[in-house]
């Protein structure tokens, strides 16, 4: 673990993958940084399956999110390389989306129209083609879409490696301004710039409209290579996915539940996931169920992340919803650029924290200039 600086230039509130990646990026630029989190790496990053899937997470009406996600996907090879490709289990073998019945196939065809409109490189597959790509799929699967650009990583390994590289302090922030954090034990920390990357807890800490969206998830363990590809399925209208790791672990997720800060694993949640994944991939029924878990995704009202400088002087990096693991490297690069007074590598206007203003304040997404921390 890196030494805790006595007088950090930048304090980051939140030690999930977004806060830790940003801290690491800033450290590489010579900035003294400190991450505050009562339990770093145990939130949404610990639950996440690690799909790096700009295409299979693309939805109608969200072109700006798709563009960010595609840029994030391009940033991953270098990010994984620096952390250790094998250690973080970064695998670029594409992802298959499969339809279970005829109605599910109609839904997939509709997404296929979106892929076409956006010019995304996907292959539409007939049922037999699906099974030759992934033999574990049920014989009745109606068809699928293969995306060569969607990849995967082990988020727990990424977080473990980042925690070795950045200093953290196990405290909760209770009050935050652009250049000061008050922690729950009364500790006051002044710095040149505060970055808030507190995930689902951002809404509680500050007045931004972030809500928790619960995801229950399972971990199965079987022979290495049992499942060749990450598979995203639509099963009788429900979404399910199975992401294989190199060591035989298969992560199955995830429910999508809006009920506040509830992280209970429920019988109904586990049942739904097993019902759908075993309908799609019946061969998984004999392997071990080794973990059940639930995490809270941070979601903004428009499902887009919040990245940028707020009117309050705080730099925000939150609200990454279903794509926090995918967008960690690009968010880290963008936030570091902002903090250091440089132009971010992507257009942050659609992701401005000021876009929710209803009082006639800046809602156009225009970024507030920051003075810049000397790097």
Footprint on this chain of ligand GLY (rule: CB under 6 A): 49, 51, 215, 253-254, 297, 322
Nearer to ligand GLY, 309 or 351 (CB): 351
3-state DSSP call for residue 356? helix
> b/e for 240-275, b at 16 or more Cβ within 10 A?
bbbbbbeebbbbbbbbebeeeeeeeeeeebbebbbe
Cβ proximity to ligand GLY, 14 vs 253, nearer residue = 253
**Of 191 and 240, which has the nearer Cβ to ligand GLY?**
240
Q: Choose between 10 and 300: whose C-beta lies nearer to ligand GLY.
A: 300
**Looking at beta carbons only, is 33 or 51 nearer to ligand GLY?**
51
The residue (of 12 and 254) whose beta carbon lies closer to ligand GLY is 254
Q: What's the rounded Cα separation, in Å, for the pair 299 and 369? A: 26
CA dist., res. 14 & res. 41, Å (int): 9
Cβ atoms within 10 Å of 297's Cβ, excluding its own: 24
Q: Which residues contact 56 (CB under 8 A, 6 or more apart)?
A: 95, 97, 145, 147, 150, 232
Q: Smallest distance, Å, CB 253 to ligand GLY?
A: 5
In contact, 159 and 14? CB cutoff 8 Å: no
Q: Could you give the angle at the alpha carbon of 98 between the alpha carbons of 76 and 301, nearest 5°?
A: 60
What residue ranges in the chain does DSSP mark as E strands? 10-13, 33-36, 51-52, 95-99, 123-125, 143-147, 151-152, 168-169, 173-177, 180-183, 188-190, 193-196, 211-221, 231-235, 238-244, 249-253, 288-299, 306-309, 315-318
What is the closest distance, in whole angstroms, from the C-beta atom of residue 324 to ligand GLY in the complex?
A: 8
Cα distances (angstroms) measured from residue 230 to each of 185, 319, 367: 44, 25, 38
- Compute the distance between CA of residue 144 and CA of residue 38 in angstroms, rounded to an integer: 43
Joined tokens for residue 358: 């209803």
CA gap 107, 158 in Å, rounded: 33
Give the shortest CB-120-to-ligand GLY separation in angstroms: 17
Cβ at position 331, least distance to ligand GLY in Å: 15
Q: Euclidean distance between the first and final Cα of the chain, in Å?
A: 22
Closer of 297 and 355 to ligand GLY (Cβ) = 297
Q: Which is nearer to ligand GLY, 183 or 326 (CB)?
A: 326
Sheet holding 193-196, edge to edge: 168-169, 33-36, 10-13, 193-196, 315-318, 306-309
Q: Of 15 and 215, which has the nearer Cβ to ligand GLY?
A: 215
CB of 119 to ligand GLY, least distance (A): 23
Question: Taking the complex as a whole, how short is the minimal distance between the CB of residue 214 and ligand GLY, in angstroms?
Answer: 10
Q: At its nearest, how many Å lie between ligand GLY and the CB of residue 290?
A: 19
Residue 260 or 361: the one with the smaller Cβ distance to ligand GLY is 260
Question: How far apart (Å, rounded) are the C-alpha atoms in residues 131 and 41?
Answer: 37
Output the smallest distance, CB 31 to ligand GLY, in A: 30
Q: Shortest distance, CB of residue 28 to ligand GLY, whole angstroms?
A: 27
Token couple for 273: 């996931």
CB of 159 to ligand GLY, least distance (A): 15
């Amino acid at each position: 673990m890196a030494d805790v600086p006595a007088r950090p230039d930048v304090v980051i509130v939140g030690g999930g993958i977004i806060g830790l990646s940003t801290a690491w990026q800033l450290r590489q630029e010579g900035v003294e940084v400190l991450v505050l989190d009562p339990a770093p790496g145990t939130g949404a990053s610990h639950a996440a399956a690690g799909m790096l899937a700009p295409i299979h997470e693309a939805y109608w009406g969200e072109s700006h999110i798709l563009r960010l996600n595609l840029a994030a996907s391009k940033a991953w090879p270098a990010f994984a390389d620096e952390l250790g490709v094998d250690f973080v289990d970064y695998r670029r073998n594409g992802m298959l989306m499969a339809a279970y019945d005829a109605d599910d196939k109609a839904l997939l065809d509709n997404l296929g129209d979106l892929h076409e409109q956006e010019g995304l490189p996907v292959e539409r597959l007939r049922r037999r083609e699906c099974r030759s790509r992934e033999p574990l799929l049920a014989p009745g699967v109606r068809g699928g879409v293969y995306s060569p650009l969607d990849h995967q990583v082990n988020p727990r390994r990424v977080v473990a490696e980042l925690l070795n590289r950045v200093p953290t302090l196990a405290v909760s922030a209770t009050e935050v301004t652009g250049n000061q954090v008050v922690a729950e034990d009364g500790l006051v920390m002044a710095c040149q710039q505060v970055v808030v990357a507190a995930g689902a807890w951002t809404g509680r800490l500050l007045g931004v409209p972030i809500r928790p969206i619960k995801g229950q998830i399972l971990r199965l363990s079987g022979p290495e290579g049992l499942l060749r590809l990450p598979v995203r399925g639509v099963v009788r209208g429900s979404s399910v996915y199975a992401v294989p790791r190199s060591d035989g672990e298969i992560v199955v997720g995830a429910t999508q539940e809006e009920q506040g800060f509830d992280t209970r694993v429920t019988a109904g949640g586990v049942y739904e996931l097993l019902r759908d994944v075993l309908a799609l991939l019946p061969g998984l029924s004999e392997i071990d169920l080794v973990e059940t878990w639930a995490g809270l995704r941070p979601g903004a009202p428009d499902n887009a992340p919040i990245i940028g400088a707020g009117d309050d002087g705080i730099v925000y990096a939150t609200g990454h919803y279903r794509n926090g693991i995918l967008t960690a490297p690009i968010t880290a690069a963008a936030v570091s650029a902002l903090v250091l007074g440089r132009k971010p590598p992507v257009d942050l206007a659609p992701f401005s924290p000021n876009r929710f203003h209803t009082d006639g304040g800046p809602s156009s997404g225009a970024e507030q200039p920051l003075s810049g921390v000397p790097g």
